[in-house]
Amino acid sequence: MSDSKIAKEVSNRRTFAIISHPDAGKTTITEKVLLFGQAIQKAGTVKGKKSGQHAKSDWMEMEKERGISVTTSVMQFPYGGRLVNLLDTPGHADFSEDTYRTLTAVDSCLMVIDAAKGVEERTIKLMEVTRLRDTPILTFMNKLDRDTRDPVELMDEVEDVLKIACAPVTWPIGMGKSFKGVYHLLRDEVVLYRTGQGHTIQDTQVIAGLDNPELDKVLGGYAAELRDEIDLVKGASNEFDHELFMAGELTPVFFGTALGNFGVDHMLDGLVEWAPSPLPRETDTRTVQPTEDGFSGFVFKIQANMDPQHRDRVAFMRIVSGKYQQGMKARHVRIGKEVRFSDALTFMAGDREHADEAFAGDIIGLHNHGTIQLGDTFTSGESMKFTGIPNFAPELFRRIRLKDPLKTKQLQKGLIQLSEEGAVQLFRPLRNNDLIVGAVGVLQFDVVVARLKSEYKVDAVYEPINVATARWVTSDDPRKLDEFERKANDNLALDGGDRLAYIAPTMVNLQLAQERHPDILFHKTREH
């Protein structure tokens, strides 16, 4: 394959994820985005709470019962001549770790804000994560068909709280019952809104030019008001600046209603035009460019039993460079072996199907029989490891205990595998045989017990344990580490991958340990 073919495929791709607070409209936007991508005939199958249908990503009973999206799925669709990969991030607050890692596999993010509520807590946290890599952010102010807050106030809040400059690309005309549409500042067009068109791609009425007398006919007295308002907005707000956008310092802002399928296409137009094509990624030895010939990629998510009939585990790999081809061989760097990708999955149109080829920015799913871990790197042969795929120090801890003590082996095996997937974190104290499960969100505990039962046939229960926090520990000086292991033995544990961690009963205890052992590094995240 010629370099120019790879370069063309790469420049054609956009890989993004949606970040939002629960209920802001992520699922609804995803449906509409897929509708535009023609990936599904009729939007409404992503979650379909009302119709009783469930999205293809809904694989666990628990998820169905709770009506939340526990899993991360991948959807690929064409839009505006480009190929777009949308990585779904679990919106539920409890599943933050998966969400964080998914954000390492995208090149841009869409931030969805409920315009009646403004910036909410979960959005703030997720924005902090995107900051780690200065990911470019687009913003969609949703639910304009309802009474919302004042748009100027909303943008001020984004700027103040999230510390990112806002550049309105569209501007709402009215809101709630009197929502009339938007003015597109860059195209100088008024796009009129009609209600009840949410399930189809509607024909929109567009009026070219703010000075167009047609506007007075349609909007009546409001047209003059709109002209004044736009004057003010232009004077008072930032203009879109591509460089600042790419640096994650400025976000283009779109207004609309996902439910009414209005404004989503403006956002998508912006995404394919401005968002970066697949970006280079860092490894421990060098920076890898997406257009390189050599194949490389990293695993950011492992998911079990997507298809309960096959009981398979799938490792999601983001391709960083080169080309994936059905049946190709690649080096599994961590274990130093060559493996064949014989039946990788791709995610075109939200469905799992066999793919013949894929390029940088695409996600492929590898069947995993226990040899693949989060963060694993695959290459054409080069020994390198992608960095920046974090594990977060858990904030919640429980001791896990078997109902039937004869199944200890099974329990350990299950917990180690679930921790490899990142479903939960496991800590085994050095001083006893406890099994301590650590999670970032409380729902993870339920998921683990449910999966231990269905996949490993063990019945486990939790008991409270006095652990407040954990830190992975390392030191540049092996002697100091040895000494620390002796002195702090009571507080030390091995995690699922046999890495040393300090488990602290209180934050004060942690602080004291840090002060007492200045040569020991206490890490809040563990890079795989």
Beta bridge partners of 474: 521
Q: Are 214 and 220 in contact (CB under 8 A)?
A: no
| Contact mark string toward ligand G4P, 32..51, x via CB under 6 A | -----------------xx-
Token duo for residue 467: 């652990």
Distance between terminal CA atoms of the chain? 32
Identified binder of ligand G4P from the candidate list 10, 14, 17, 27, rule CB under 6 A: 27
Taking the complex as a whole, how short is the minimal distance between the CB of residue 427 and ligand G4P, in angstroms? 32
Could you tell me which of 204, 195, 199, 193 has the C-alpha nearest to residue 40? Answer: 199
Binding to ligand G4P by residue 22, rule CB under 6 A?
yes
Binding to ligand G4P by residue 297, rule CB under 6 A?
no
Taking the complex as a whole, how short is the minimal distance between the CB of residue 147 and ligand G4P, in angstroms? 10
Binding to ligand G4P by residue 15, rule CB under 6 A?
no
Could you tell me which of 288, 368, 364, 356 has the C-alpha nearest to residue 322? Answer: 288
Applying CB under 6 A, which part among 16-24, 73-81, 367-375, 517-525 lies near ligand G4P? 16-24
Identified binder of ligand G4P from the candidate list 117, 125, 146, 332, rule CB under 6 A: 146
* Size of residue set near ligand G4P by CB under 6 A: 19
Taking the complex as a whole, how short is the minimal distance between the CB of residue 48 and ligand G4P, in angstroms? 8
Cβ-based nearer residue to ligand G4P, 147 or 477: 147
398's CB contacts (< 8 A; 6+ apart) are 436, 437, 445, 462, 463, 464, 465
SS3 state at 74: strand
Applying CB under 6 A, which part among 126-134, 139-147, 175-183, 417-425 lies near ligand G4P? 139-147
Binding to ligand G4P by residue 143, rule CB under 6 A?
yes
Positions at the binding site for GTP: 20-27, 88-92, 142-145
Identified binder of ligand G4P from the candidate list 145, 189, 362, 420, rule CB under 6 A: 145
Taking the C-alpha atoms of residue 401 and residue 437, their distance in angstroms, rounded to an integer, is 10
Beta bridge partners of 463: 399
Residues numbered 79 to 98 that lie near ligand G4P (CB under 6 A) are: 91
40 sits in the region (left: phi over 0; alpha: psi -120 to 50; else beta) called: beta
Cβ-based nearer residue to ligand G4P, 66 or 234: 66
Binding to ligand G4P by residue 257, rule CB under 6 A?
yes
SS3 state at 379: strand
Across 262-312, where does the E strand assignment appear?
Answer: 281-282, 287-288, 296-304
Q: Are 105 and 320 in contact (CB under 8 A)?
A: no
- Maximum Cα–Cα distance for the chain, whole Å? 82
Identified binder of ligand G4P from the candidate list 142, 291, 391, 419, rule CB under 6 A: 142
Q: Are 70 and 62 in contact (CB under 8 A)?
A: yes
Taking the C-alpha atoms of residue 212 and residue 183, their distance in angstroms, rounded to an integer, is 12
Applying CB under 6 A, which part among 143-151, 388-396, 429-437, 442-450 lies near ligand G4P? 143-151
Distance of CA 260 to the CA centre of its chain: 25
Identified binder of ligand G4P from the candidate list 13, 19, 28, 275, rule CB under 6 A: 28
Token duo for residue 300: 């950011």
Applying CB under 6 A, which part among 123-131, 228-236, 255-263, 369-377 lies near ligand G4P? 255-263
Binding to ligand G4P by residue 20, rule CB under 6 A?
yes
Taking the complex as a whole, how short is the minimal distance between the CB of residue 250 and ligand G4P, in angstroms? 24
Which DSSP string do the residues of 328-370 spell out, in sequence order?
Answer: -EEEETTTTEEEE--S-EE-BTTS-EE-SEEETT-EEEEEESS
Cβ-based nearer residue to ligand G4P, 18 or 470: 18
Applying CB under 6 A, which part among 252-260, 267-275, 415-423, 496-504 lies near ligand G4P? 252-260
Residues that bind ligand G4P (CB under 6 A): 20, 22-28, 49-50, 91, 142-143, 145-146, 257-260
